[in-house]
Amino acid sequence: MKTLKSLIIVFVLIFISSVSCEVLEEEIISGVTVDTHYGTPEGFEDAVNAAYERLRYFYGDEDGCEITVFGTDEYTNGGHGSAHAINKYEAGLNAESPSFWNPWQYLYIGINTCNAVIGRAPDADIPEAEKNIMLGEVHFLRAHYYYLLVEFFGPVHLTLTETTGVETEANRTPEDQIYDAIIDDLEFAIDNLPLTQSEFGRVTKPAAQHHLALIYLTRAYKSFAQADDFSNAANLAVDVINNSGHILLDDYQQIYNLADANGKLSHTNEQNNEIIFSVQFDINPLLNPRGNETHLYFRPWYEVYDKGGLVRGLGHGYGRPWIRFRPTAWLLENFRPIDVDARFNKSFQIVWYFNDLGGIPAGASIGDTCIWITDEDLDQAKFDALQARLPYANIFSWNINDIDESWSLWMSDLSVTNNNINIFPSPWKIDDNLRPSLNEQEGSRDFIVFRLGETYLIAAEAMLGRDGNATNAVEYINTIRRRAAYDGMEAAMEVTAAEVDLDFILDEWSRECFGEQSRWLDLKRTGKLLERVRAYNPDAAPNIDDHHLLRPIPANQITRCTNTYQQNPGY
């Protein structure tokens, strides 16, 4: 028994010594920390990549769309969604709306990542030349995040250093200082970035130039404008047009078309010569947890207008509809004459065909027209004749003259009581037929932020501002317009300098880039937001006023600050 006892004691002693103090040592094996990782070459690259990520939280995102598309002259609300107040400038447009909180928080998270990259760069073990290119990218991104914040919210918190401790206070830096910081960042980017990058989607020098042109142009209208803002903007834009290597595509449709040269469906055409900067989304779901969701938002509720025989599918034009953004009558009328300017027909789906035998009306076959939205000015006789020709079709008209006809998209009581609120032409540019399944939300189309067509418009707007007339600007407008023309209609598309004013440029901007998450900013920049919303967006017109030029500071920001964080006036 003695042996047993000693055995036990020995066993215990061995045990105790084997579980010494290492029990209390904490070693992170599965993760990495800022201090250890960012200094390595791989870690620094990881940090740079991370700085891009937040782009996906704004572009192609529902909140990002709501605050840029709604409440403009182009778009009003469809029947669905919970953010109609953002369009209508109603009570729900307030500090507690997630439509503002989400962009606010996501952009600041992005800014802190940029600050970390820039602040830790001196210690990163990576060749100087490579490092500076990467830093150029990150400076551009930080400038872009601040541009969005300052334009939406006015004087906001400005910090250019990484947060390493607990911060519970925030400032409201005057707008002009934020613009100075943005310009510094973009100048750094221009100085350090190459004309092209080996990986498509990385920031290039032309992207930074285009952005800085937009920044000067934006500041040019402000109270703290510098005298040479317009001319700086014009010079930068012209430099991009002449020297960047980017060219306008021959066919407007090719900018957005998903088909490659062989007509095969793919995303390869998203890397074309006109694109200066686009947010990258990916067909591989592992690389696309947060996809481009615009394909949901701009689509009408086509599938409920049939009496059977039309279902959502994977083909072009039959995607999942969330019925958020409905074009205003102005947006569509702005494309006329549509037999001269090809951009209406190249931009909008107006026909849906039967695509399912289930419940298809007796006599109809797959491929017959189920919904047609014509631009024609119909009267009852014409309507009846059309209906006789297309007996199974639901016929609508977007012609403004037909207002209050039963087939009109623009009935005066176009509230949710009216079925017609959920039907409207659907933009092709958001269509995403490569989604793997019917209800997939995460789209894989890249989101174009800057393209050369817009550089022309920036140049034109800047020259108009600089010169006070459109003598120099008109050629940039006409270049865009000739490209947009049907073959043989180029001359008809041309305008004279006398026809070009700020409103005309904004009209052209809409024809070229409608629905691309910049309209609210364009209208605000040019001081035309109130005027044009009142004129063209009947849902928003009664409510919009001056205080809406700034968005409300999210309540979370105000309540979490230990110092007083002032709300914007009127909220």
Partner 1 sequence: MLIVFAGLSISLAAQKVVTGKVTDENQAPLTGVSVMVKGTTVGTLTDIDGAFSLSVPDNARILSFSFIGMKTSEIEIGTLTTFNVTMEVDIGMLEEVVVIGYGTQRRGSITGSIASVTTEDIQELPVIDVGSALQGRATGVVALASGNQPGEGVTIRIRGRRSLTATNEPLYVVDGIPYDGNIVDINPRDIKSMEILKDASATAIYGSRGANGVILVTTNRGGDFPTTVSYSGQYGITSVLALPDLMNGDEYYTMKEVGGRAFQPEEIAAHDRGVSVDWLKLVLDKGYQQNHQLSIRGGSEKTGFALSANYLNERGVIKTQDFSRYSFRVNLDHKISDRIRVGTSTQLSNSVQNWGSNPYGTALAISPLAEPYDSEGEMVYRPGADPLLWNALADYEEGNMVDERNTLRVFANIFAEVDILKNLTYRMNYGPDYREYRRGVFQGTNSISRQGGLPRAQKEHRRTYNYTFENILTYNLTSGNHDLNFTGLYSVQKSTGEYTNIYAENVPYETQLFHNIGTAETVLEFGSDLSEWGIMSFMGRVNYEFMGKYMLTLTGRYDGSSRLAEGNKWGFFPSAALMWRVNKEGFMSTQELFSDLRLRVSYGVTGNTGIDPYQTRGSLTRTIYSFGGNAAFGYAPGTIANPDLRWESSATLNFGVDFGLMDNRISGSVEIYQTNTKDLLLERQIPITSGFNSVMENIGETRNRGWEVNLITRNLTSGEFSWETTLNFFGNKEEIIDLYGTKTDDVGNEWFIGQPLTVWYDYNKLGVWQLGEEDAAAVYAMDPGEIKVEDVNGDNILNQDDRVILGSDMPTLTVGIGSRFEYKGVDLSFLLLGVFGHTIYNSFEVSNATLQGRYNNIDVDYWTETNPTNKHPKPDGSMEYPYYSTTRGYYPGDFFKVKNIQLGYSLPNTILSKIKAKKLRVFINFDTPFIFSQLADNLDPEVYGGEVTSDVPSTRMNSIGVLLDF
Beta strands 394-397; 348-349: pairing state: unpaired
CA dist 86 and 100 (Å) reads: 10
Residue from 111, 134, 493, 521 binding partner 1 (CB under 8 A): 111
Neighbours of 77 (CB within 10 A): 25
Unique residue bearing structure tokens 């005298």 = 227
* Interface mask toward partner 1 for 143-182; x: CB under 8 A: -------------xx-x--xxxxxxxxx------------
Tell which residue, 241, 326, 298, has the closest CA to residue 447.
298
Short-list 351, 345, 515, 509, CA closest to 430: 515
Q: Which of 218, 272, 280, 537: binder of partner 1 (CB under 8 A)? A: 280
Rg (CA), the chain: 27
Interface with partner 1, residue 377, by CB under 8 A? no
Compute how many residues bind partner 1; rule: CB under 8 A.
115
Rounded to the nearest whole angstrom, what is the least distance from the CB of residue 555 to partner 1 in the complex?
4
Binder among 235, 387, 418, 479 for partner 1 (CB under 8 A): 418
**Residue of the chain from 226, 231, 269, 288 that contacts partner 1 (CB under 8 A):** 288
Q: Considering only the stretches 42-50, 59-67, 183-191, 379-387, report the one whose residues sit in contact with partner 1 under the rule CB under 8 A.
A: 42-50
Q: Does 356 bind partner 1 (CB under 8 A)?
A: no
Q: Nearest distance from residue 137's CB to partner 1, in Å?
A: 11
Q: Do 250 and 452 contact (CB within 8 A), yes or no?
A: no
Q: Which of 105, 196, 387, 472 binds partner 1 (CB under 8 A)?
A: 105
Rounded distance, CA 90 to CA 70, Å? 12
Is residue 3 a contact residue for partner 1 (CB under 8 A)? no
Smallest gap, in angstroms, from Cβ of residue 287 to partner 1?
4
Pick from 416, 498, 527, 545 the residue near partner 1 by CB under 8 A: 416
Q: Which stretch binds partner 1 (CB under 8 A): 197-205, 381-389, 424-432, 449-457?
A: 197-205
Handedness of CA 353, 356, 357, 362 (dihedral sign): negative
421 lies in the binding site for partner 1 (CB under 8 A) = yes
Is 464 among the residues that bind partner 1 (CB under 8 A)?
no
> Encoding tokens for residue 365?
């076959």
CB under 8 A, 24+ apart: contacts of 518-525:
518/68, 519/68, 519/69, 519/72, 519/73, 519/74, 519/75, 520/67, 520/68, 520/69, 520/70, 520/71, 520/72, 521/68, 521/151, 523/72, 523/73, 524/151, 524/549, 525/151, 525/217, 525/218, 525/221
Q: Is 371 in the site for partner 1 (CB under 8 A)?
A: no
The yes or no reply on residue 445 touching partner 1 (CB under 8 A) is no
The smaller minimum CB distance to partner 1, of residues 115 and 374, is found at: 115
Nearest in space to 324 (alpha carbons), one of 83, 73, 58: 83
Residue 526 token pair? 């040019």
DSSP 128-175: HHHHHHHHHHHHHHHHHHHHHHHHHHSSB----S---S-------B-H
| Of the candidate residues 535, 541, 543, 549, the single one contacting partner 1 (CB under 8 A) | 543
* 98 and 104 Cβ atoms separated by less than 8 Å: no
Instruction: Measure CA 111 to chain center.
Output: 18
Stretch that binds partner 1, among 110-118, 333-341, 492-500, 510-518 (CB under 8 A): 110-118
Least separation in angstroms between CB 94 and partner 1? 6
Choices 59-67, 285-293, 373-381, 484-492 (CB under 8 A): range interacting with partner 1: 285-293
Our finding on whether 46 is near partner 1 (CB under 8 A) is yes
Separation of CA 405 from chain center: 34
Site for partner 1 in 52-81 (CB under 8 A): 52-53, 55-56, 77, 79-81
Least distance from partner 1 to the Cβ atom of residue 307, Å = 6
Which amino acid is located at 340 in the chain? Answer: V
Q: Which stretch binds partner 1 (CB under 8 A): 125-133, 235-243, 337-345, 557-565?
A: 557-565
Based on the shown chain and the rule CB under 8 A, indicate whether residue 235 belongs to the binding site for partner 1: no
Tell which one of 10, 34, 357, 366 touches partner 1 (CB under 8 A). 34
Q: Per rule CB under 8 A, is residue 434 in the interface with partner 1?
A: no
Choose which of 196, 254, 419, 433 interacts with partner 1 (CB under 8 A): 419
Interface residue with partner 1, options 14, 24, 261, 388 (CB under 8 A): 24
